[in-house]
Structure 1
Amino acid sequence: MGYLITLAGFAALASIFAPEVVAQSCSGVTGRFQPRMGSGYRYSVLATGLRQPRHIVVDSAGNLLVAEGGTQGVRRLVLQDQGNIVCVQSNTQIVSGSTNHGIALSADGKTLFTSNLASVTAYSYDAATGQVGQGRQIVTGMSFQGTHPTRAIATSKWSPDTILVARGSASNIDTTTTQQSAARSVIKAFSISKGMQTAHNYASGGELIAWGLRNVVGMTEDPVYGGFWSVENQMDDLRLNGRDIHNDNPAERLSYHGVLNDTANRYKGLNYGYPSCVPAWDPQNVGISGLLVGSLFKPDGVPNVAADACANNYMTGRLHFHAHTAPLDIKFNRNSTAAYIAFHGSWNRNPADGYRVMRVDFANGQPVHAVTSKTAQIPVMENGNIGGCPNNCFRPVGLDFDQRGRLFVSSDTSGEIYVIYGA
């Protein structure tokens, strides 16, 4: 397998995006696409030919670990700087099978976690050698039911014995998730050390962090302020009073869950409304008086709630995004001045939207924009021709930073890993 790295340089233009003007490459492979980059950013293609790369993580030695989809396992890419670009020195499969989306490392970097549709598995891991120990299931009981098989996972530096696991709904409108006992459309936290002794059962074990979240596919912890965040894919084919409003509603959602080790965390265990209530992206299209961006409302075909329940009984997101853009991961830069979000792109919208990496600016642990903002997203990396999506474009999935501030981005459809410089 070969690898190519393409370096994009940018002129100082007044427009949001700057065109590619310089190309450099590692020997071997040509990237399939030439993304448009936001002002101040450049990119390279680190690797091609991967099998549906999903979430990714940089280890303590600066190697990139990649969870490949379809139970393909985990690959370890040892990286090497070549001038002002980075290349792959070696590519080795270190875990076979047993993963389809999620990957994380413990706070000390010595334990590797992967997830599949049924369980979370832990392995001892040596970043220097790539040596992986025998896998041990620490969370079980998540067997696949319906349309959302991903199991996003995240670890915590502020609460290092904790692993968080998200499980999505079984269908577009999963009415059973109005009960916590369904253990779907939830985020739960589990003790790693206890799971090493006896595996946790997802439904009956763990601590509830949040529920009423249709399908959380990306989670992260703020490295400076310790806040825990999730990005959520909301409902498809939305109708209200028999009218089709799905093209611009509901909003995708960024939600805040507080600091995990804070005993007074008032965000822990809150319900975000799904399936009964969904957040608005285009309130005018919804047509309910007084509705704002992010306001919750009850669409057709969902469980009945009291007339004022959507407004008063559920937690709202902290920011909201274009309908059906499918945010799949979120990561902060090292000083927590910005969070970067991978939008995998829509299938339930015409024209298509998403297929990009965007930035949200933060200050003092919170986004600088208001909950109702529609302009909080700043372009970082987009497809030059979104008309070629979803099959003939890059589709961002996983994100992670290395210690030098380089942002790695996986694209599952094209089997590529990109590097963004200047993040």
Structure 2
Amino acid sequence: MTHTYFILASTALLSLVTAQTTCLSSLRPSYSATVASGYQVGLVATGLARPRGIQFDKAGHLLVVEAPRDDDPAISALTLNDGGGICVEEASRKTVVHGQGVNHGIAISNDGTVLYASSMESVFAWTYDPASQSASEQRTLVGAMSGSDHATRTLLLSEMVNDTLVVSRGSDSNIDPVAADITSGHSQLRAFNIGNLTGDQNYTYASDGLRLGWGLRNSVGVAEHPITGGIWSVENSADNLRRDGASIREDNPGEELNFHGYLNGTEYERQGGNYGYPQCYAVWESEALLPNANLPVGAQFAADGDGGNDTYCAAQMPPRLTFFAHQAPLDIKFNNSGTEAWISFHGSWNRDVPSGYKLAMVSFENGEPVAASNNTTAALDIFANVDNDACPDNCFRPAGLAFDNQGRLFMTSDATGELYVIARESMSSPAGSGINQSSQTGAAQGVGAAASSMLGLTVLVAYGLIFA
């Protein structure tokens, strides 16, 4: 099979590469995408039913939460054939759990023998056998989380503190006034000692566990830093906001990267604090776009009708980083060294010019982002759609992320039912075995067609794939 790649920067043809591949898979995306220099991407599987959260088990099977909108959810185990690098294909698929309303959250115990997943209402656990990819003895660990809107309950099982499960619950609506009540459990991040449960005992979300933060509209992505143990989340902020009677929805509010302290005993005096919602939001663009405000990127501001003001908002927990509005981050995963945080941006619906629809990476050092809190280019685009105007119907929409034991990143696209693998170019792969890397080495937060800022030089990248 021959892959022919056309890479176009500005109006000049930069390169034309034709290469043979020995990869067994013949899967190819139906849309064009860009890949940052130094990386390669391969399509691993198709035909998944709205795949969301993913997790590798101890035997190397990839467990995938499939949550179709017709309400027939399941957790499937994919056995993979691995030819090295991005030459990975699905060999077989088996249903591990069927039903129970599972819709996104998934985790596996550190010894690999317990599977955790969540519905809107509950967090479940099963005894799990990775050899046979089978689950049994279902029990409920956390309950009383039912709602009417944001349905996912993201799970993070700490690798540093035994039997500690972090659960994220979002708001019940775009602007949820109940979330302003700290006792409600709405828009919160909580940690539970599941080792203390016996028999049929279970926790009530709003009243039990350790509160890591509240006023978090919908923090779907949650991760533990592998070196420091710090807990981080990415938050989906609100839609259709107005300020002083004017619509500010196009470029505000920004999406957020938030820090929540530690589970391992390291002191963080603001742990459990208020991150502002539903009264406060993070500035992305202030000048000319946010009436009566002269605030830096990431500062908290008040919108119409939410009962807050800028003075009150300035006292709430600000994001550590702010991202372009409406990109909808759904997952965050650290690499083993903790020097990179990978974020899946699912993509906007509340913007005239679509934003997101990409996989990006934020550099970390000593457990913190390298970039300053008001930086607008901290997220480096790694894998992105060429034409966001074709989204959401004819493009990939990143959702769940998982690293394998070789350091390769796997990513689901729920809208297209696809599974991708992303690897550094240095990892062994047959030449031309996937989506080729473009010439861009960095990208500013952007919208629409891929307009990139590279070392101060604006480059328009139009990236097409021709498979023969």
Which range, TM-score by smaller chain?
Answer: over 0.9
In structure 2, C-alpha distance between the alignment counterparts of 1:316 and 1:261, rounded to whole Å: 23
Q: Which amino acid aligns with 1:266?
A: E
Which residue is equivalent to 1:255? 258
Which residue is equivalent to 1:182? 184
In structure 2, C-alpha distance between the alignment counterparts of 1:401 and 1:222, rounded to whole Å: 14
In structure 2, C-alpha distance between the alignment counterparts of 1:20 and 1:142, rounded to whole Å: 52
- Compute the displacement of 1:193 (Å): 1.8
In structure 2, C-alpha distance between the alignment counterparts of 1:221 and 1:19, rounded to whole Å: 41
In structure 2, C-alpha distance between the alignment counterparts of 1:262 and 1:249, rounded to whole Å: 36
Q: Which gives a bigger RCO, structure 1 or 2 (Cα 8 Å, sep 6+)?
A: 2
- Compute the displacement of 1:28 (Å): 6.1
Which residue is equivalent to 2:442? none
In structure 1, C-alpha distance between the alignment counterparts of 2:283 and 2:330, rounded to whole Å: 19
| Equivalent position to 2:353, from 332, 344, 351 | 351
With 77-86 and 52-61 compared, the bigger mean Cα shift is at 77-86
Identical-pair percentage? 42
Q: CA RMSD in A?
A: 2.5
In structure 2, C-alpha distance between the alignment counterparts of 1:81 and 1:416, rounded to whole Å: 17
Which residue is equivalent to 1:73? 74
Q: Which amino acid aligns with 1:326?
A: A
Q: Which amino acid aligns with 1:194?
A: N
Which residue is equivalent to 1:210? 213
- Compute the displacement of 1:324 (Å): 0.4
Given that 2:261 and 2:267 are in contact with CA atoms closer than 8 Å, whether structure 1 keeps it comes out as: no
Structure 1 unaligned residues grouped into runs of 5+: none
Which residue is equivalent to 1:39? 37
Given that 2:254 and 2:326 are in contact with CA atoms closer than 8 Å, whether structure 1 keeps it comes out as: yes
Given that 1:7 and 1:43 are in contact with CA atoms closer than 8 Å, whether structure 2 keeps it comes out as: no
Which protein is bigger by CA-based radius of gyration? Answer: 2
SS in 2 for 1:352: coil
Q: Which amino acid aligns with 1:256?
A: F
In structure 2, C-alpha distance between the alignment counterparts of 1:218 and 1:23, rounded to whole Å: 38
SS in 2 for 1:176: helix
Q: Which amino acid aligns with 1:315?
A: M
- Compute the displacement of 1:263 (Å): 5.2
TM-aligned CA distance change 1:170 to 1:291, over 3 Å: same
SS in 2 for 1:216: coil
In structure 2, C-alpha distance between the alignment counterparts of 1:123 and 1:333, rounded to whole Å: 27
In structure 2, C-alpha distance between the alignment counterparts of 1:212 and 1:326, rounded to whole Å: 17
In structure 2, C-alpha distance between the alignment counterparts of 1:19 and 1:208, rounded to whole Å: 54
SS in 2 for 1:180: coil
Given that 1:18 and 1:37 are in contact with CA atoms closer than 8 Å, whether structure 2 keeps it comes out as: no
- Compute the displacement of 1:265 (Å): 2.8
Q: How does 1:10-409 map to 2 (within 5 A)?
A: 22=19, 24=21, 25-27=23-25, 29-70=27-68, 71-84=72-85, 85-98=87-100, 99-143=102-146, 145-197=147-199, 198-262=201-265, 264-284=267-287, 285-305=289-309, 308-312=311-315, 314-409=316-411
TM-aligned CA distance change 1:18 to 1:260, over 3 Å: farther
Structure 2 unaligned residues grouped into runs of 5+: 426-468
- Tell me the TM-score normalized by structure 2: 0.84
SS in 1 for 2:153: coil
- Compute the displacement of 1:138 (Å): 0.6
Which residue is equivalent to 2:466? none
In structure 2, C-alpha distance between the alignment counterparts of 1:78 and 1:18, rounded to whole Å: 36
Q: Which amino acid aligns with 1:80?
A: N
SS in 1 for 2:389: helix
In structure 2, C-alpha distance between the alignment counterparts of 1:375 and 1:235, rounded to whole Å: 21
TM-aligned CA distance change 1:7 to 1:365, over 3 Å: farther
